[in-house]
Amino acid sequence: MKKIGIICKKGKPEPAEILKDLLPWLRQRGHEVYIDIDTASTLNIEGTLRSQIPSVAEIIIVLGGDGTMISVARLVADKALPILGVNRGGLGFLTAVYQDELYEVLEKVLAGECSIEERIMLTACVFRHSECIAEFVVMNDVVVNKGALARIIDLETYINHIYVATFKADGLIVSTPTGSTAYALSAGGPILYPTLNSIGIAPICPHTLTNRPIIMPDNILVEIILKSHNEDVFLTLDGQVGFSLKQDDVVEVKKSKFKTKLFVPCERDYFKILRTKLKWGER
């Protein structure tokens, strides 16, 4: 692992401060380092376009929060590059390494002593008049949701071509286990252990309160047909990418052929992360 890509949270000074010590530390050990061009410009050094880093690096270090991690996971998905997330953001379910332990963890990563955890991803295709007009790969979730002023929407839903229900709701979330602690959690969905091979489906504010989240194996095909007309409805991917939908559009969601690979510190305790981030046990 001699070629290391570093991608940082945009608009924050902290990553650049970390890099002032991290860059010479890595280079003294014989590593080639490729830094995203936005961060490099703040250090007055040569950088690399984010889109090009996956083609030249063997591993990726992310300095930022979970949002940055998720965007990088999509960026490197087809290269299957392992990612080490260093928490410089907020919640930090994915960026489980903190700044004060960075060098200790990096020593283990570069020595091959840190395990790699694989997480499933999802692929979403939008079909309009039987033609796929857009395709996306996501780490967390695929969401069909109404705009701020739109009324409740009708979402006809099938699993493996078998009719499930027509949800009358503000929207519908299809999530990976990784995404179960994101939007799906706020919609009342369960927390899934991140390495499970499962897909969660959760309605958002359903008109019928008996519409509950459901967990399915990851070999299913989910089809969501927008039946409402003249409404402001969007497909949202990982909460970061949006696509406008029209009546009778079909959104197909299934497990992606790509997986996210995350370096996991040996001493990491997933349940400690849940206790800390979700404040379990506090009064």
Answer whether residue 45 is part of any domain.
Answer: yes
Answer whether residue 174 is part of any domain.
Answer: yes
Task: Indicate whether 144 and 233 sit together in one domain.
Answer: yes
Task: Give the domain range for residue 66.
Answer: 3-114+265-278
Answer whether residue 16 is part of any domain.
Answer: yes
Task: Indicate whether 205 and 161 sit together in one domain.
Answer: yes
pLDDT at 209: 83
Answer whether residue 207 is part of any domain.
Answer: yes
φ, ψ dihedrals at 221, nearest 5°: -115, 125
Task: Indicate whether 64 and 137 sit together in one domain.
Answer: no
Closest CA to 176 of 226, 208, 138: 138
Task: Indicate whether 236 and 269 sit together in one domain.
Answer: no
The pLDDT-based confidence of 89 (bands split at 50, 70, 90) is low
In three-state secondary structure terms, 193 is coil
Task: Indicate whether 174 and 252 sit together in one domain.
Answer: yes
The pLDDT-based confidence of 15 (bands split at 50, 70, 90) is confident
Give the number of domains in the chain. 2
* Strand pairing category for 59-64 and 82-87: parallel
Task: Indicate whether 134 and 209 sit together in one domain.
Answer: yes
Instruction: For residue 237, give Cα distances in angstroms to 124, 186, 231, 233.
Output: 9, 16, 19, 13
In whole angstroms, what is the distance from residue 95 CA to residue 62 CA? Answer: 8
Answer whether residue 283 is part of any domain.
Answer: no
Beta-sheet strands, E only, within 80-188? 82-87, 115-128, 131-138, 141-146, 153-159, 162-169, 171-175
H/E stretch holding 254 = strand 250-264
| Active site (catalytic) residues | 66
* Strand pairing category for 115-128 and 214-217: unpaired
Residue 30 has pLDDT above 90, yes or no: yes
In whole angstroms, what is the distance from residue 169 CA to residue 156 CA? Answer: 11
Task: Indicate whether 94 and 132 sit together in one domain.
Answer: no
Task: Indicate whether 103 and 150 sit together in one domain.
Answer: no
CATH of the domain at 59: 3.40.50.10330
Answer whether residue 163 is part of any domain.
Answer: yes
The tens digit of pLDDT for each residue in 156-183 reads 999 999 999 999 999 999 999 999 999 9
The tens digit of pLDDT for each residue in 217-276 reads 999 999 999 999 877 899 999 999 999 999 999 999 999 999 999 998 766 788 888 887
- Contact yes or no for 218/195 (Cβ under 8 A): no
| Structure letter (DSSP) for residue 130 | T
- Contact yes or no for 166/154 (Cβ under 8 A): yes
Query: Who wins on pLDDT, 277 or 54?
Result: 54
Cβ neighbours of residue 216 under 8 Å, at least 6 residues apart?
159, 198, 199, 200, 201
In whole angstroms, what is the distance from residue 80 CA to residue 149 CA? Answer: 40
Task: Indicate whether 14 and 59 sit together in one domain.
Answer: yes
Task: Indicate whether 232 and 196 sit together in one domain.
Answer: yes
The arithmetic mean of pLDDT across residues 204-214, rounded, is 91
Question: How much is the mean pLDDT over the chain?
Answer: 92
The CB density around residue 42, as the number of other CB atoms within 10 Å, is 16
What is the pTM (predicted TM-score) of this model? Answer: 0.92
| Structure letter (DSSP) for residue 48 | B
pLDDT at 35: 96
The CB density around residue 121, as the number of other CB atoms within 10 Å, is 22
CATH of the domain at 170: 2.60.200.30
The CB density around residue 94, as the number of other CB atoms within 10 Å, is 29
What angle (nearest 5°) sits at the alpha carbon of residue 133, between those of residues 225 and 141? Answer: 60
Task: Retrieve residue 161's tokens.
Answer: 């071509």
What 109-113 contacts at long range (C-beta under 8 Å, 24+ apart), as own/partner pairs, is: 109/1, 109/59, 109/84, 109/263, 110/1, 110/29, 110/31, 112/1, 113/266
Task: Indicate whether 131 and 14 sit together in one domain.
Answer: no
Task: Indicate whether 132 and 236 sit together in one domain.
Answer: yes
pLDDT at 188: 93
pLDDT at 242: 96
Answer whether residue 228 is part of any domain.
Answer: yes
Answer whether residue 60 is part of any domain.
Answer: yes
